[in-house]
Amino acid sequence: MFKSKFVNLSLISVLLLHLFFPIQVIAETFLPQDPGSVYDDLTGDYGILGIASQFHVFAKEKTTINAHTEGNVATGVLSATNNFGTSISTGDLNKEINYAQSVETIISSAETAAFDKRSNKFIVGSNNVITTENDKIVVNGTRLDHLSVDEFYQDREDAQYIDFNKEFENLMLTSNMLMSLDPLKTYTPDDFPDMNNRVIDCTNLVGDQPYVINVAASVLAKNTPLRINNPEGKVLIMNVVDAPTSFSVQSQIQYNNRSNHQTEDFSDANISWNFGNLTEKLEINAPFQGTIIAPCADITVNQSQDGTIIGKNVILNATTNRWDPNEIFTVPNTHDDTTDTTSSSTESSTSESSTEPST
């Protein structure tokens, strides 16, 4: 009996010790691999948007993720209170890269675990504290459960995986150049007499691609859908002209009867919206399809969006999906003079009107 009481007292003592002095998981110091340069990994010719086109979000300063983000991120500072990473797996995307120079907030479920058809490369800047715990990476105190040690990299003090200053200098030049191209057509609100059936039809456009179309910002400020018909999958640049420095998109963008959805098949991602360098604040307040080029803007996405998002700062308050744009190659102002450049009115090639609702 005495022995039994002694054992019980010993067990109680151990429990009390654990209560007041809990067992701590020891994080091991760890030096991640050197990532090298983004140009070692992305070696293709990605057109005038360059490597930015290979990321769902490409932000010079900060990306804030408040909603599920179905894609990868390259950013100066990352604050992610929700998960991100391309989770769908059909075999079209064989590698996903994420880069954050400074990790402010991240959750354990960030990124999608690798599988037999896709690998991951996750890179952080040299100022972050990296350790390991049970063979998992710990970033500034948060363990990342979906990444292996072999998939994690860290900048060296004298190098950066992506030079955002350089990339955004080029993106600003690109945005200006796109704005300077002669448009095949220009659309204003007057070109859409039926506000409930607004259509831009690209079927009969001819000339060199990309096809440049100017759209007045006031068109996108309307709260009815804008449908883009591009059945032949031509590469489109939609220059948003005359936008104020602070602008909100209120029009749902419907593209080829496509719905917003997660995918790793980007073959039909051939529409980009260029907001230029004068837009400082941009809000997306309706479902949107197409890459957003606004290198000087703080972009807030409040509705579902598919495509690359290029901005100074990016805030995601709604589900967004990676949809990398097809490569854009330009030769300035070389469109055929015989191209149909008539503005839309009642012709079917410019603004369709019917009794059926937009789809």
How is the chain split into domains, by residue range? 38-321
Residues 6+ apart with CB under 8 A from 296: 172, 277, 278, 279, 280, 312
Average pLDDT over every residue of 44-49: 98
The 10 Å CB-count burial string (b at 16+, else e) for 14-31 is: eeeeeeeeeeeeeeeeee
Average pLDDT over every residue of 216-234: 98
Question: Is the Cβ–Cβ distance between 124 and 73 less than 8 Å?
Answer: no
Question: Is the Cβ–Cβ distance between 229 and 256 less than 8 Å?
Answer: yes
Phi, psi of 2, rounded to the nearest 5 degrees: -60, -40
Higher per-residue confidence, 260 vs 347: 260
Give Cα separations from 25 to 11, 128, 133, 138, 153 (angstroms). 22, 20, 8, 12, 23
d(CA 183, CA 61): 32
Give Cα separations from 6 to 15, 16, 34, 60, 276 (angstroms). 14, 15, 56, 65, 78
pLDDT digits (tens, 9 = 90+) for 56-73: 999 999 999 999 999 999
Provide the β-strand partners of residue 271: 236
Question: Is the Cβ–Cβ distance between 146 and 112 less than 8 Å?
Answer: yes
Helices and strands (DSSP H and E) totals, the chain? 4, 24
pLDDT of 334 strictly over 60: no
- The token pair that represents 46 in the structure block: 């990605």
pLDDT digits (tens, 9 = 90+) for 150-194: 999 999 999 999 999 999 999 999 999 999 999 999 999 999 999
